[in-house]
Amino acid sequence: MNSPRLLTVILNYRTPDMTVESVDTALRAMEGIDGEIVVVDNDSGDGSFERLSKHAQAKGWTDGNRVRVLLSDRNGGFGAGNNFGIQTGLSDGSQPDYIYVLNSDAFPAADAIRRLLDYLQIHPEAGFAGSYIHGPEGDPHLTTFRFPSIASEFEGAIRLGIVSRALSRKRMPVDIPDHTCPVDWLAGASLMMRRSVLDEIGLFDETFFLYFEETDLCLRAHRAGYQTVFVRESDVTHIGSVSTGMKEWRRVPNYWFDSRAYYYAKNHGAFYAALATLSHLAGGVLHRMRQYLQGRKPADPPHFLRTLLRHDLAAMFKPRRRAAVPRLTEDLPRPDGSLFVSE
C-alpha cells in the first residue's frame, strides 16, 4: 500500500520572518511523511515574496521541491489564498491525498502533523481533523465551536450566566475537550483535510474575505456526511492575529460583518439571517442595559450593535451573492478576475 501524500499550505501576508519559522517547524514535523510545502504570499506587496524565495533557496528547502514559494497576484483573503496553494497540487502535477492548512504564525510540535494524518487514515468518517492550539506560554486557545444559530447569537450577545446555562447546548464556543472528539467546526490555524472530501464539496468559498470561511467549509462537509474532529494529541503553538491585527481592533472591520451576513444568508436563507441579527440585537440591548445599571462599559467594541444593524439592513437590499467555490479540477482565477461559480 502506498503511503499517503500530503500537501501543506502556509499562507503569508506581510509576516515573512514568522512564516520562515512556521515552515521550519512544519518541515521537521513532516519528517517521514511523503509530502511537500507550498508557501503562498498573498500579494503582500512589501517584499515578502522575494525574502521568502531567497531564504528557501539559501536553506536548501527548494531542493527536491520540498518547499515551493508562490506569489498570488491578488489578496482575495484567507480562503482565496489557501485555494491558490491547494489548486497548485504537488510538484509532479498530481493531487495529494490530504491537504494541511497551517497559519504562518502557527508552529506544530514534532508529531502534530503525523497525529492528524494518522487519525484521518484510520477514520474514514472524518473529513477534517484539527489540532489543540495554545499560545507560546501554554495558554489554551479556543478553536472548538458549534455552528452559529439564532440561539447562539442571543446567548453570545446577552453575556448572562443563567442564559448561557439554559442554552448550553446552543452556545457557539465549545469548552476545549480533554480528548479527541468530533465538533461542528474548528478554527483553521492547523487543519488537515481529506482531498476526496474537497473533491466532493469544493474548496473555501472565496466570497468570504476573512472569518466564517472555515465555518462554512465544515458545514458543507457536515451536510455531506463527514465529521470534523478535534485531535487533542496534535499540539500546535499559535501566536494569533498577527496578520489581521485583531487584538488591536478598536472597531470590528466591515469584512467581518460581510462574512457573517453572507454565511447566514447562504446557508440558512435571508429570513433566518434576519432573525439571527434580531436575536443578537435583543441580547446586545439587554446586555447594555445591565451594564449601564451596574456602571460598566459594554463588552462589545464601540458602535458594534449600530454597525451590525446598519450593515445587515443594507445587505438585505443588495443582490444575493452567489457562492464562489472553486473545485480542485477548476482553473485558477482568470486574468479578468472572474471565478468559477457554484450554487
Residue 340 is predicted with a pLDDT of: 29
Report whether 26 contacts 111 (CB < 8 A): no
Residue 244 is predicted with a pLDDT of: 46
Instruction: Give the chain's largest Cα–Cα span.
Output: 67
Residue 329 is predicted with a pLDDT of: 67
DSSP 8-state assignment for residue 226? -
Residue 171 is predicted with a pLDDT of: 97
Mean pLDDT of 214-219: 98
Question: Hey, what's the cell of 161?
Answer: 450566566
The pLDDT of residue 295 is above 70 = yes
pLDDT digits (tens, 9 = 90+) for 47-101: 999 999 999 999 999 999 999 999 999 999 999 999 999 999 999 999 999 999 9
Say how many C-beta atoms besides its own lie within 10 A of residue 284's C-beta: 24
pLDDT digits (tens, 9 = 90+) for 245-281: 454 457 789 999 999 999 999 999 999 999 999 999 9
Cα dihedral sign, 301-305-311-312: positive
d(CA 234, CA 276): 34
Place of cell 497551517: 102
d(CA 116, CA 128): 9
Q: Please state, in angstroms and as integers, the Cα–Cα distance from residue 218 to each residue in 126, 141, 143, 205, 328, following that order.
A: 11, 19, 13, 11, 17
The pLDDT of residue 198 is above 80 = yes
Instruction: Identify the weakest region by mean pLDDT among 132-136, 222-226, 319-323.
Output: 319-323
DSSP letters along 196-250, please?
HHHHHH-S--TT-SSSSHHHHHHHHHHHTT-EEEEEEEEEEEE--STTT-GGG-S
The CATH code for residues 5-140+176-248 is: 3.90.550.10
Residue 115 is predicted with a pLDDT of: 98
Tell me the backbone φ, ψ of residue 184, rounded to 5 degrees: -70, -55
DSSP 8-state assignment for residue 270? H
Residue 180 is predicted with a pLDDT of: 98
Average pLDDT, the chain: 92
Report whether 85 contacts 9 (CB < 8 A): yes
Question: Hey, what's the cell of 31?
Answer: 519528517
Residue 328 banded pLDDT, cuts 50, 70, 90: confident
Secondary structure of residue 81 in the 3-state scheme: helix
The pLDDT of residue 331 is above 90 = no
Calculate helix-pair angle for 48-58, 16-29, nearest 10 degrees.
40
Residue 343 is predicted with a pLDDT of: 30
The pLDDT of residue 2 is above 90 = no
Residue 241 is predicted with a pLDDT of: 61
Secondary structure of residue 57 in the 3-state scheme: helix
Residue 330 banded pLDDT, cuts 50, 70, 90: low
72 versus 322: which is more confidently predicted?
A: 72
